[in-house]
Chain A
Amino acid sequence: MPDHSPGAGVRVRDLTKRFGSAARPAVDAVSLDVRPGEFMTFLGPSGSGKTTTLNMIAGLEGVTGGEIRIGDRDVAALPAHRRDLGVVFQQYALFPHMTAAQNVAFPLRRRKLPKAEIAERVARTLDLVRLGDHADRLPRKLSGGQQQRVALARAIVFDPRVLLMDEPLGALDKKLREQLQIEIARLHRELGVTVIFVTHDQEEALALSDRIAVFNEGRIEQVGTASDLYERPATRFVAAFLGDSNAFEGTLSGGRLAGDGLDLRAPATDLPDGSRAALIVRPERLRLSGAPGSGDNAVSADVTDIVYQGAFRKVLIRFGNGGAGCVREAIGALSDIAPGDRVTVHWSPDHAVLVPA
């Protein structure tokens, strides 16, 4: 497209939302910096405050406390219709009494653009989402995927600097979802717009995002790239929410983590001596060996089950202390074990992460 609108940064400080007299705030002092042009995903379980945060940024939900800046502007005093943000809703929210083209024209007409320019932009944007030939259809005559494309077109046609999407693909089946993911990634690249994208689908988050903010109970647990979150989770929650993990709990002292019959070497950490912590190791970072034993970076375990998953197999284990875990082995590097065997799992110290318990 000829006229790019480079995205704006979004800066959120101590953003808080309390509904009525609820005991726990729905959003609790969230702070976050989204860089201009970045694709940021809010990922978290249901009820963790993703939608509420997004709606406060959009101006569709009142703010209990905190600050939101879009670009260099504090938007506290700006009502939703003056924030100039594109918003895509989960259930499309197309106006059912208007055709696809009228839906896409709606934001342009609110901005009082000349008729010819509106027509030209609507046509161009519908082409961009490959719906050029469906301009005159009412939404109910379009498939779910097509409706979501219209919603997308409507949200970008006025060149907003930030595009907010709340589970835009949640109502679509898997195949369509993957197709639209590719399309959204392409639009993000071509338009250079800042995107904040809400999902509770991990794979979707990993596939699309520059960075991911993991929400839990109204707070952000960690913000980082997919590999940051996976390789260096900051909390137990992040470790458990993204993929499988093995956790060993204990008390820190003098560079060691002890407890539950284990005495492991602790990775470097800011946590003070005496605090409870958990050592996290991802399943594919564990190695199995036949002989039982334990050590600085090793514990013994019983094999409970083995599950084949295409190019990998998953070995489910139970540690001496009763905790469950798993090891992922690539086919071609399989160890010679069977369910019921007693084994040792060990890891390289670089691959262990310490988080507060």
Chain B
Amino acid sequence: MFVVPMARLAWLSVTTPETGLANYRDVLTDGVSLTVIWRTLRMMLVVTAVCLLFAYPYAYVMTVVPPRTRAVLTTIVLLPFWTSLMARTFAWVVLLQKGGPVNDALAALGLGDVRLAGSATGVTIAMAQVMLPFMVLPLYSSMRDVDRALVPAALSLGARPAVAFLRVYLPLTLPGVAAGTTLVAVLSLGFYVTPALLGSPKESMIAQLIAVKVQDVLDFGAGGALSLTLLVVALALLGLVARFVRPGAALGMSDEGDRR
């Protein structure tokens, strides 16, 4: 189901317009493709980091509030699923555009005229918001499983709050961090709509480039080569994350982690 089109894409990428690795050579040498791939990766890292930054405390709060507040918080996270992606992105366009409320607010704060819509910053904000549920939910589910007595226990044993967090809480929530970051990273790699609408054409992401190649220029070979490159990068990232944050095996786990 998924393999057949992928195989066909791979086939196209080495046969069209002529047999050989020319398409891949182009990816590496045409200047545009590499820039776009690099820009996409950077965007992915930033979006994932921003998501993690907001989602970690948010998910934590969800585990400590009473059930009714938790229901409200969950609804807020899931809200994006109830509106269409297009609608949300357009909402961000309205909010972030020149002369829009966010611009005005920033100007009022004395931050001057910050360009948001049509910029990488705008895309980051909108994408991070869209991705938030994919980060919050895995984090929440791993935090919920952490025994509430562990941090008090660490404190009573002489750990400063920051140390209790680093040695006890964080290691136990790493599986959630791994799941969330992987999801968000992979999803933002293939993201098309938001960068297309909110970003500037001069800062297009790889998904847009592929669309241009396939739809406008009808260069299926180049599109295929780009797609496969994207896939390989995504898989490599997955592997990397899985290797770094093997569930539970981290920071607090090893005796050596503590050595100074």
Contact = CB atoms under 8 A, between A and B. Distances in A.
A102 B172 contact: no
Contacts of A158: 157-158
A283 interface: no
Interface stretch (A103-111, A179-187, A267-275): A103-111
Contacts of B158: 81-82, 84, 107, 110-111, 158
A96 B154 CA distance: 12
B112 interface: no
Contacts, number: 75
A130 B161 CA distance: 31
Interface size class, chain B: 20 to 34
Interface string A77-103: 001111111110101010111100010
Contacts of A84: 158
Nearest to A84: B158
Nearest to A91: B149
Contacts of A97: 171-172, 248-249, 252-253
B163 A80 contact: no
Nearest to B174: A97
A17 interface: no
A103 to B, nearest CB: 9
B240 interface: no
A28 to B, nearest CB: 23
A81 B154 CA distance: 8
Nearest to B159: A110
B216 interface: no
B55 interface: no
B217 to A, nearest CB: 52
A280 interface: no
B155 interface: yes
Interface size class, chain A: 20 to 34
Contacts of B153: 87, 89, 93, 95
A93 B255 contact: no
Central interface residue in B152, B156, B171, by most chain A CB within 10 Å: B156
A83 B160 CA distance: 12
A85 B157 CA distance: 8
A155 B149 CA distance: 14
A82 to B, nearest CB: 8
Given A55-B152, A81-B156, 14 more contacts: A58-B152, A59-B156, A83-B156, A84-B158, A87-B152, A87-B157, A91-B149, A96-B147, A96-B172, A97-B171, A107-B158, A109-B258, A110-B163, A154-B157
15 contacts: A60-B156, A80-B152, A80-B156, A81-B156, A87-B153, A93-B147, A95-B153, A95-B154, A96-B248, A97-B253, A98-B252, A106-B157, A106-B159, A107-B158, A155-B156
